[in-house]
């Protein structure tokens, strides 16, 4: 039963390891690691603001696209669908969840990229290629859709039927019951699900790496934010998944900077996951 200690050691160990390894980079750069926009490893400059921006944008696009779709699909699954078709649809959604990210990356590279590129042309937007933050966001949206839908469905289903019975018994329509009563009761679960999906979006490497463009130091001024969506960019994960990680071997500061990126990702994602956990536990507690 010391295996459980092993679990603690693993999580804690990784965290401490990253922390220790990052110290040198933090010492060298200070807070400008997060706020500065200059990443040039050859010049030993490691300011990562552009990557933080890229990570945030790509994930935000993914959530904004996937959330409404997942909400309505989950509504359909839990409030409209009949039992047999429900299980079939659920199975299909779960199928999509099991597809490895590298396959999504492949689809992104071979199809999505060209589609986006022709879309930009059609709309006469000034985009250099199909490798953009937007493309990565769209691909990510497809990837988190199954998880988000399943978790939303779980949240809706865990609302006890007594609430629906009471509302319908008063004469509320199915829509009114679903939107006012069920959704309201499911809110902690919905938020938790969103946080979990966001965590996965933030941590996704392979698919994003292939379609985001991998262009460093792209940090737009306030007026240029929308333009930056159709430009290439860089996220924390696409940087870590790239050539620099192997190049950095042997260079202490460089390695430390990359570990610092990893630490940032770790803290944000695990923090989000734990918070989501807290919320989902509240849902379960109320349902008893």
Query: Which parts of 205-264 interact with another protein (CB under 8 A)?
Result: 205-206, 210, 237, 240-241, 245-246, 249, 255, 258-259, 262
Give the single-character DSSP code of 128.
S
Non-local CB neighbours of 83 within 8 Å, separated by 6+ positions: none
* Of 36 and 189, CB closest to another protein: 189
| Rounded distance between C-alpha atoms, residue 155 and residue 182, angstroms | 9
Shortest approach of another protein to residue 45 CB, angstroms? Answer: 20
Task: Give the SS3 label for residue 81.
Answer: coil
# residues contacting another protein (CB under 8 A): 106
Q: Which of 11, 23, 64, 225 binds another protein (CB under 8 A)?
A: 11
Residues 60-119 binding another protein (CB under 8 A) are: 68-73, 75-77, 79-83, 87, 89-96, 98-107, 109-111
- The residue assigned the tokens 């042997």 is 250
Q: Which of 30, 128, 174, 227 binds another protein (CB under 8 A)?
A: 174
The closest alpha carbon to 277, from 187, 172, 193, belongs to 193
> Positive or negative CA dihedral for 280, 3, 264, 61?
negative
Non-local CB neighbours of 213 within 8 Å, separated by 6+ positions: 129, 131, 132, 133, 231, 232, 233, 234
- Span interacting with another protein, options 26-34, 42-50, 119-127, 198-206, rule CB under 8 A: 198-206
Shortest approach of another protein to residue 84 CB, angstroms? Answer: 9
Q: Which of 42, 43, 123, 170 binds another protein (CB under 8 A)?
A: 170
Q: How many CB atoms lie within 10 A of CB 274?
A: 11
Residues 30-49 binding another protein (CB under 8 A) are: none
Shortest approach of another protein to residue 124 CB, angstroms? Answer: 26
Q: Does 23 bind another protein (CB under 8 A)?
A: no
> Positive or negative CA dihedral for 70, 71, 73, 78?
positive
* Of 222 and 285, CB closest to another protein: 285
* Of 225 and 284, CB closest to another protein: 284
Find the Cα–Cα–Cα–Cα dihedral 57, 98, 69, 84, rounded to 10°.
-170
* Of 153 and 228, CB closest to another protein: 153
| Rounded distance between C-alpha atoms, residue 129 and residue 241, angstroms | 21
Q: Does 55 bind another protein (CB under 8 A)?
A: no
């Amino acid at each position: 039963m010391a295996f459980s200690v092993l679990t603690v050691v693993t999580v804690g160990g990784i965290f401490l390891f990253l922390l220790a390894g990052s110290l040198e980079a933090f010492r060298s750069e200070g807070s400008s690691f997060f706020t500065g926009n200059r990443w040039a490893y050859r010049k030993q400059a490691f300011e990562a603001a552009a990557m933080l921006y890229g990570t945030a944008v790509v994930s935000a696009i993914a959530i904004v696209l996937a959330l409404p779709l997942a909400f309505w699909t989950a509504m359909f699954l839990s409030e409209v669908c009949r039992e047999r078709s429900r299980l079939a649809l659920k199975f299909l959604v779960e199928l999509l969840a099991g597809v490895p990210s590298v396959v999504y990356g492949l689809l992104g590279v071979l199809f999505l990229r060209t589609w986006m590129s022709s879309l930009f042309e059609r709309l006469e937007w000034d985009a250099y290629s199909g490798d953009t933050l937007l493309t990565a966001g769209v691909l990510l949206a497809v990837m988190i859709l199954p998880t988000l839908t399943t978790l939303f469905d779980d949240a809706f289903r865990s609302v006890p039927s007594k609430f629906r019975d009471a509302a319908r018994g008063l004469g509320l329509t199915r829509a009114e019951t679903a939107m006012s009563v069920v959704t309201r009761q499911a809110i902690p679960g919905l938020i938790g699900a969103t946080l979990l999906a966001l965590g996965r979006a933030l941590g996704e490497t392979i698919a994003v790496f292939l379609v985001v463009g991998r262009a460093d130091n792209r940090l737009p001024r306030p007026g240029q934010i929308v333009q930056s969506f159709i430009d290439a960019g860089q996220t924390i994960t696409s940087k870590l998944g790239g050539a620099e990680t192997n190049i950095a071997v042997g260079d202490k500061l460089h390695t430390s900077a990359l570990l610092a990126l990893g630490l940032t990702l770790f803290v944000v994602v695990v923090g989000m996951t734990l918070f989501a956990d807290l919320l989902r536990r509240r849902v379960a507690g109320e349902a008893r």
